Chains A and B, each alone.
Chain A
Amino acid sequence: MNSPVKSVIESILFISNKPVTLSHLKNVFDKHSNEKILSIIKELQNEYESSNRGFRIQLVAGGYQMTTNPANFDHLKKFMTEKRKISLSLASLECLALIAYKQPITIPEINNIRNVDSGAVVKNLLAKSLIKILGKKKTPGKPYIFGTTKEFLIHFGIDDLKSLPPLEEIEQVLE
């Protein structure tokens, strides 16, 4: 087993269907430091970028994942026979935004801010595993409390919940 580390990392990222964390990679290469592994990933990223390859490596949900080159999207769309609906409704997104920023949060609390009954939207998000039940609140009625999942981070290409911009700055980010 003396295949170059870079080649192995590339293979691992290629075969994995979920983000691969640094500690996962570390388990494979016990002799290499985190810095070394990170720098190799960086090297791969640069290679793909500079030679305009069909892959990209993203840092998402605390792990690395190999994706397609977004420039190829239109062609790939033609290739994919199975049409996956990826975009969420604005109502779902609004609800999700609330849950992402205010988690843990209950449905009554969501309704209160949105001024619209959000039960159905929450159920839909739950079915898509973008959110999960964290437990029950110890208030009358014991409502469920909700929080976002890893799938949420993957869906939006977010590395970490901490990397969400502060609510106050979102308007600037949009511009």
Chain B
Amino acid sequence: MPKKKLSFEESLTRLEEIVRHLEKGDMPLNDSLTLFEEGTGLIKSCSALLDEAEQKVVQLKKGADRKPQELPFGDTDE
């Protein structure tokens, strides 16, 4: 399924929903397996998000057009 990439929060919320559904155990096996597969994917992607997260720190500067420009943190001209 071509879906937009879910944020960590969306993934976690969806995963919680799936677990609740599965725990009810009132779905046909095929539906359960589909959900289970989705849940497995979400667990993987959530873990990956946690494992691969690398903090990004930028400094915002007001550009000539007033729009924010991102500078690496530390390069301050003040």
Mutual binders A and B: no
